[in-house]
C-alpha cells in the first residue's frame, strides 16, 4: 500500500529537520504562520547576517510583536531559544553561506561601510602575515621552485585563485599546469602526477563533495601537496606537505579573497627570487612573444 503525503506535510517535515537551514525552515512553514509570526520571520530573513547583535527583546521591539510570539516562532522552526538561532546562523556563515542584512553590505546611507570593510581587510592580512611567520611560506616556495612539474588545482570558488597562481608561475618556470581545464574532469589532469611533482591544492570553503577523495588520492600519489584554504580546510592539513591558511572572513555577505590573491603574489615572487636567472630569461622570452604577436596594447 502506498501512502501519499501532501505538499504541506512534506514541507512541515523538512522544516523540522535539525540540519535544515533556517531560511529553508521558514519557507516550509511560512504558509501556516500567523500574520504576526510572519512579521518576525521576515525580520529574521532580513537580518540573518547580523542576528548576533540582537536579543529576543530587540526583535520583539523592532517588529512590534510580543516576546511570547517571537519565542513561539523559534520553537515552530525547531529551535529551543534565540541562542540556538544565533548559533545556527553563525555556523552557516562559517560554512561560507552568504548572509548579511542591508546594514552590513554597504547599502546607501550605511555609516562608515568602507571603514568597516577596510578594518576587516587589515585584520585578515595581519592574520595571514602572522600565520606565515613560522617559515611555511619559505617551505612552500622551496617546493614550488624545486618541483619537476607543478599542477595547480582549484574547484568552484577556489578556481580563480588557482588560475591566477598558474598565470604568475608560468611566467617564471616551465612545467606548470592548472586543473580542471574547461570541459574536463580531474582524472585526465591527475594521471602521471607522482614523486618529485608538486600539487598546489586550493580549497576554500563550500568545497565540492569530492574534495576529501581528491586529498586522499593526492596523498597516495607521492607528490608533495601545498594546501591553501581557509580555516575549514584545516582538517586536511595532515595530508599535505605544506598547509597555508588564508583568512577570508568579511564584514558583508560574501567572503573576501584579497589575502588569497596576496598569497599568490608572495609565492610567485618567492619562486622568482629562487630562480632569478632562469626566471628573468623566461619572462624576457614571453615578453618578446607578446611583442611579436602584438597581444598587448601599447602603453
Asked if the structure places residue 7 within a domain, the reply is: no
Q: What is the pLDDT of residue 83?
A: 87
Does 132 share its domain with 188? Answer: yes
What are the Cα distances from residue 53, in Å, to 19, 45, 58, 221?
A: 24, 15, 9, 48
Q: What is the pLDDT of residue 68?
A: 92
Does 146 share its domain with 254? Answer: yes
Separation of alpha carbons 104 and 117, rounded Å: 9
Does 88 share its domain with 65? Answer: yes
Cell readout for 293 is: 604577436
Q: What is the pLDDT of residue 95?
A: 66
Does 37 share its domain with 64? Answer: yes
Q: What is the pLDDT of residue 100?
A: 57
Cross-strand bridge partners of residue 93: none
Q: What is the pLDDT of residue 122?
A: 92
34-42 contacts: CB < 8 A, separation 24 or more? 34/69, 36/65, 36/66, 36/69, 37/65, 37/69, 37/72, 37/73, 37/76, 39/63, 39/64, 39/65, 40/65, 40/69, 40/70, 40/73, 41/73
Q: What is the pLDDT of residue 284?
A: 85
Does 132 share its domain with 270? Answer: yes
Asked if the structure places residue 66 within a domain, the reply is: yes
In degrees, rounded to 5, the angle at the alpha carbon of residue 143 between the alpha carbons of residues 245 and 181 is: 75
Separation of alpha carbons 208 and 154, rounded Å: 10
Does 87 share its domain with 126? Answer: no
Does 134 share its domain with 240? Answer: yes
Asked if the structure places residue 130 within a domain, the reply is: yes
Separation of alpha carbons 208 and 155, rounded Å: 7
181 DSSP 8-state letter: P
Cell readout for 92 is: 552557516
Where among 103, 128, 143 does a domain terminate? Answer: 103
Q: What is the pLDDT of residue 109?
A: 47
Which stretches of the chain score pLDDT less than 70? 1-19, 93-111, 299
User: Distance between alpha carbon 51 and the CA centroid of its chain, in Å?
Assistant: 21
Does 21 share its domain with 45? Answer: yes
How many structural domains does the chain have?
A: 2
3-state secondary structure of 263: helix
3-state secondary structure of 80: coil
Query: What's the CA dihedral at 13, 18, 20, 24 to 10 degrees?
Result: 60
Where among 103, 129, 155 does a domain terminate? Answer: 103
Does 69 share its domain with 209? Answer: no
Whether omega for the bond prior to residue 15 falls within 30 degrees of 0, making it cis, is no
Q: The domain that contains 177 carries what CATH number? A: 3.40.50.10490
Q: The domain that contains 81 carries what CATH number? A: 1.10.10.10
Q: Note down the domain range covering 36.
A: 13-103
Does 131 share its domain with 88? Answer: no
Does 92 share its domain with 121? Answer: no
Separation of alpha carbons 100 and 103, rounded Å: 8
Amino acid at each position: 500500500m502506498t501512502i501519499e503525503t501532501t505538499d504541506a506535510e512534506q514541507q512541515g517535515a523538512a522544516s523540522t529537520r535539525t540540519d535544515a537551514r533556517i531560511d529553508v525552515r521558514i519557507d516550509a512553514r511560512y504558509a501556516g504562520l500567523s500574520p504576526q509570526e510572519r512579521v518576525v520571520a521576515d525580520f529574521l530573513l532580513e537580518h540573518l547576517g547580523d542576528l548576533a547583535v540582537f536579543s529576543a527583546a530587540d526583535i520583539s521591539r523592532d517588529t512590534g510583536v510580543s516576546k511570547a510570539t517571537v519565542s513561539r516562532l523559534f520553537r515552530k522552526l525547531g529551535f529551543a531559544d534565540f541562542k540556538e538561532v544565533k548559533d545556527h546562523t553563525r555556523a552557516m556563515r562559517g560554512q561560507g553561506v552568504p548572509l548579511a542584512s542591508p546594514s552590513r553590505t554597504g547599502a546607501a546611507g550605511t555609516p562608515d561601510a568602507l571603514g568597516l570593510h577596510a578594518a576587516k581587510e587589515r585584520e585578515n592580512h595581519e592574520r595571514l602575515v602572522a600565520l606565515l611567520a613560522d617559515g611555511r611560506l619559505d617551505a612552500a616556495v622551496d617546493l614550488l621552485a624545486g618541483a619537476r612539474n607543478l599542477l595547480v588545482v582549484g574547484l568552484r570558488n577556489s578556481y580563480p585563485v588557482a588560475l591566477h597562481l598558474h598565470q604568475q608561475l608560468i611566467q617564471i618556470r616551465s612545467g606548470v599546469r592548472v586543473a580542471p581545464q574547461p570541459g574536463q574532469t580531474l582524472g585526465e589532469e591527475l594521471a602521471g602526477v607522482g614523486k618529485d611533482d608538486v600539487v598546489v591544492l586550493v580549497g576554500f570553503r563550500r568545497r565540492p563533495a569530492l574534495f576529501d577523495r581528491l586529498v586522499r588520492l593526492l596523498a597516495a600519489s607521492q607528490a608533495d601537496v601545498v594546501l591553501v584554504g581557509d580555516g575549514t580546510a584545516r582538517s586536511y592539513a595532515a595530508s599535505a606537505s605544506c598547509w597555508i591558511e588564508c583568512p577570508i572572513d568579511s564584514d558583508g555577505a560574501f567572503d573576501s579573497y584579497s589575502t588569497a590573491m596576496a598569497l599568490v603574489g608572495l609565492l610567485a615572487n618567492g619562486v622568482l627570487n629562487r630562480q632569478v636567472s632562469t626566471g628573468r630569461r623566461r619572462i624576457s622570452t614571453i615578453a618578446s612573444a607578446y611583442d611579436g604577436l602584438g597581444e598587448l596594447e601599447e602603453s
